């Protein structure tokens, strides 16, 4: 080993022949350190390919299948590329889901609910972050508690409360049926108890806690009240965290089927339309096919419908991916 080092350093002192130089360059390239780096890169590439495969495969397979005609599913020789390319699956899914109107309704509802959630969670998060009072810790424990109770547990009482709505026991004789209206969802969103809202309260609290108190102190000295300070000083500085909360609220609300199905199952919304898609289609069938064939075509329809449901979100995600991926850093949730 030391011999080798010696000859090399001596060799460097004398004039080098081209062959020697090439050999030396090779030696430099294949030092243990470089080899290790190469192995790490290869290993990383392997892991990345494997994981991307696991994530993308189902999606790509769905997309490929969505262009297949029914015979192609039964044809064992068809992989990925349809033999009978067709847009019929999409055409039928759009027709029987009444996609355009369902999309507009879903978009309006999701936007409205996620804005309400953003407003309520921001205000509540600020309250937890900046003010101290007896019972604050208990109330914050309540926020975390809402996260660990499975929604199925309170599903039935909630359902009955809205079925025979009596203003929470205040007006016993009035029994409105709020099921099938958006009221239950609106009430939940505006009181920070909607889908994963505890998490958003937590995010906003952490963000406000991390902000410097100087701005607020200055505003108070200038005579601004608590609310004025909050709206004109704190809110503009909290925009990064609010963007994150809004995006997650939007995605999770769009994907929610649990609450939408219980409280507004009869409304013309995308998830409901998708759930009823095959039923709507088969009702319209003039020639009754065998059940087996219907099941196969139904799954093709559901497949196209599913893609239509997630397409807006995937588009949103690709356009705004930076906000999603940097989300946790932006909110200062961690450090």
Partner 1 sequence: MAVRLKKGHREALSGIVFTLPFTIGFILLFLRPFVQAIVFSFSRLNIGAGGYTLEFVGLGNYKNALFVQPEFVRTWVETTGMMIVNVPLILAFSFFSAILLNQPFKGRTVARVIYFLPVILASGIVLQLEQDNYFIESLQDLEETVSGFMSLETLGVFLMKLKLPARMLEFIMAAVQQAPVIIRNSGVQILVFLAGLQSIPPSLYEAAQVEGGTSWENFWNITFPMLSPLILTNIVYTIVDSLANPQNELVKLIRSSAFGPPGYGVSTAMAVLYFLGTFAVLLITIGIVSRWVFYHE
Site residues for partner 1, 117-146, by CB under 8 A, read: 120, 123-124, 126-128, 130-134, 136, 139, 142-143, 146
Sign of CA dihedral 4, 6, 10, 12: positive
Rg of the chain over Cα atoms, rounded to whole angstroms, equals 30
Instruction: Quote the least distance from Cβ 109 to partner 1, whole Å.
Output: 15
Evaluate whether 200 touches 192 at the Cβ level (below 8 Å): yes
Separation of alpha carbons 123 and 230, rounded Å: 9
Here's the x/- map for partner 1, 305-334, by CB under 8 A: it reads as -x--xx--xx--xx--x--xx-xxx---xx
Q: Does residue 223 bind partner 1 (CB under 8 A)?
A: no
Binding region for partner 1 (CB under 8 A) out of 14-22, 88-96, 98-106, 157-165: 157-165
Binding region for partner 1 (CB under 8 A) out of 86-94, 101-109, 279-287, 302-310: 302-310
Nearer to partner 1, 86 or 306 (CB): 306
Q: Does residue 69 bind partner 1 (CB under 8 A)?
A: no
Neighbours of 123 (CB within 10 A): 16
Distance of CA 307 to the CA centre of its chain: 15
Nearer to partner 1, 12 or 142 (CB): 142
Binding region for partner 1 (CB under 8 A) out of 18-26, 89-97, 98-106, 304-312: 304-312
Residue 238 CB burial class (10 angstroms; 0-12, 13-18, ≥19): buried
Candidates 93, 185, 233, 274; binder of partner 1 (CB under 8 A) is 274
Instruction: Supply the DSSP string of 255-312, one letter for each residue.
Output: H--HHHHHHHTTS--HHHHHHTHHHHHHHT-SS---HHHHHHHHHHHHHHHHHHHHHH
Neighbours of 275 (CB within 10 A): 16
Candidates 6, 31, 101, 175; binder of partner 1 (CB under 8 A) is 175
Nearer to partner 1, 20 or 130 (CB): 130
């Amino acid at each position: 080993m030391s011999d080798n080092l010696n000859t090399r350093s001596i060799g460097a002192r004398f004039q080098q022949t081209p062959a020697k130089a090439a050999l030396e360059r090779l030696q430099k390239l294949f030092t243990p350190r470089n080899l290790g780096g190469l192995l790490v890169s290869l290993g990383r590439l392997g892991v990345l390919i494997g994981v991307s495969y696991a994530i993308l495969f189902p999606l790509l397979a769905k997309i490929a299948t969505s262009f297949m005609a029914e015979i192609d599913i039964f044809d064992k020789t068809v992989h990925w590329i349809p033999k009978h390319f067709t847009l019929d699956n999409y055409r039928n899914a759009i027709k029987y889901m009444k996609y355009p109107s369902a999309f507009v309704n879903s978009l309006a509802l999701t936007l409205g609910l996620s804005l309400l959630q953003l407003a309520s969670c921001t205000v509540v998060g600020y309250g937890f972050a900046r003010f101290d009072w007896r019972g604050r810790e208990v109330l914050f424990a309540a926020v975390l508690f809402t996260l660990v109770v499975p929604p199925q547990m309170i599903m039935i009482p909630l359902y009955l409360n809205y079925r025979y709505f009596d203003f929470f026991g205040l007006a016993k004789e009035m029994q409105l049926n709020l099921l099938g209206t958006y009221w239950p969802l609106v009430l939940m969103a505006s009181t920070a108890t909607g889908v994963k809202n505890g998490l958003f309260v937590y995010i906003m609290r952490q963000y406000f806690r991390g902000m410097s108190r100087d701005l607020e102190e200055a505003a108070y000295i200038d005579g601004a009240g608590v609310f004025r300070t909050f709206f004109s000083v704190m809110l503009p500085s909290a925009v990064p965290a609010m963007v994150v909360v809004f995006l997650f609220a939007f995605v999770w609300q769009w994907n929610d089927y649990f609450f939408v199905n219980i409280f507004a199952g009869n409304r013309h919304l995308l998830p409901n339309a998708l759930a009823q898609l095959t039923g709507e289609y088969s009702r319209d069938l003039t020639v009754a096919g065998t059940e087996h064939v219907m099941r196969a075509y139904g799954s093709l329809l559901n497949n196209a419908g599913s893609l239509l449901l997630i397409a807006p979100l995937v588009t949103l995600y690709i356009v705004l991916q930076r906000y999603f991926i940097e989300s946790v850093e932006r909110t200062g949730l961690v450090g």
